[in-house]
Amino acid sequence: MVALPADNAAIDVPIFETVLGGISVIGSIVGTRQDLAEVFALHAAGRTQVIAEPRRLDQVNDSFDEVLGGRAEARLVFEF
């Protein structure tokens, strides 16, 4: 996950899959260029997914209200 949940929300992690799969969960408040390069490499390898909602440009003001109000559940991507 490359983001922070809204309002300090908890994130559920499936314990058996995490332990048996040797998955590590590491948190960081900031990232470096190397971190970003590693995330891009993970995505290119199919290990991540982008959760996004398309929006029309005429929805930009409503979208800002949604983000600032903590109601956006995904990345909002504007279609031109």
- Please tell me the predicted confidence (pLDDT) of residue 56: 95
Residue 54, domain extent: 6-79
Q: With respect to residue 29, please indicate whether it lies within any of the assigned structural domains.
A: yes
The token pair that represents 77 in the structure block: 């991507």
- Please tell me the predicted confidence (pLDDT) of residue 62: 95
- The residue assigned the tokens 């209200």 is 65
Q: With respect to residue 17, please indicate whether it lies within any of the assigned structural domains.
A: yes
Domain count, the chain: 1
- Please tell me the predicted confidence (pLDDT) of residue 50: 86
pTM, full prediction? 0.48
Q: With respect to residue 14, please indicate whether it lies within any of the assigned structural domains.
A: yes
Q: With respect to residue 69, please indicate whether it lies within any of the assigned structural domains.
A: yes
- Please tell me the predicted confidence (pLDDT) of residue 78: 95
Reported as a single tens digit per residue, the pLDDT across 25-46 is 877 777 778 888 888 999 999 9
Q: Bridge partners of 52?
A: 75
**CB contact set of 52 (below 8 Å; sequence gap of 6+):** 74, 75, 76, 77
State CA 41 to chain mean position distance: 16
Residues of the chain under the 50 pLDDT cut = none
Q: With respect to residue 64, please indicate whether it lies within any of the assigned structural domains.
A: yes
